[in-house]
A = this chain, B = another copy of it.
Amino acid sequence: MKLKDESKRTAIVSKTIDIVFDKGFAGVKMAELARMVGVSPSTLYVYYKNKEDLIVSIATTLIKNVSSNSNNEVKEELPFKLKLKAVWLYWLHFSINHSKEMSFLQQVKQSPYYSLVPSEIKDEKAQMANSLLDLGKKEGLIKNVDNEILSAVIGSIMSETCKMILSQKLKLNKSDNDMMFSMLWDAIKS
């Protein structure tokens, strides 16, 4: 009996993310993916029910990992602004270091696949953001605006920052980080 090779699954995930980064979901051809992984096309269907399942499963796993990873970043002892900045920096570095995965997630979010990601998974990140923003509001430091709106603004500025770092219009150094964070902070502070 052949044992299921978990590294094969990893390879499939990795190559899929690469392809999506390069050519989007439509660019993922099962046959080509299989060739890149070094297996037969039908082998892909041993690991995933179909193309949709492949993409949604990867997205779900990524979201789970991303959510769990950032849970530990909020140091309790810091003042709110520094706490926010720590989270911001963590996310920035994470996004830069996992830019393909992040690109994958971003593309999923604006595709019909996203509706197939279990909703309890989707909520995790929002809940984390909520608790942090609520803290800032309680201390009277940030605008009394709906969390969803604050999150959207923060997320969009972060996303643009990433894009510019990746296209080398910004650097991942203290001065650029400070500059971008100050724009973010000014936007949401009371």
Contact = CB atoms under 8 A, between A and B. Distances in A.
B157 A187 contact: yes
Nearest to A149: B164
B169 A146 contact: yes
A60 interface: no
Contacts of A26: 25-26
Nearest to A22: B112
Contacts of A188: 183, 186
Chain A residues touching B, majority SS:
helix
A61 interface: no
Interface string A161-190: 001100001100000000110111011110
A155 B180 CA distance: 15
B169 A148 contact: yes
Contact of A164 (B23, B152, B157, B169): B152
| Copies of this polypeptide in the complex | 4
A160 interface: yes
Contacts of A57: none
27 contacts: A23-B112, A24-B111, A25-B26, A26-B26, A143-B179, A143-B183, A145-B183, A146-B169, A148-B169, A149-B169, A149-B170, A152-B163, A153-B157, A153-B160, A153-B183, A155-B160, A156-B156, A156-B157, A156-B159, A156-B160, A157-B157, A157-B187, A183-B188, A184-B187, A186-B186, A186-B188, A187-B187
Interface of A: 23-26, 111-112, 143, 145-146, 148-149, 152-153, 155-157, 159-160, 163-164, 169-170, 179-180, 182-184, 186-189
Nearest first, the 8 A-B pairs at minimum CB distance are A187-B187, A156-B156, A152-B160, A186-B186, A183-B187, A156-B160, A26-B26, A186-B187
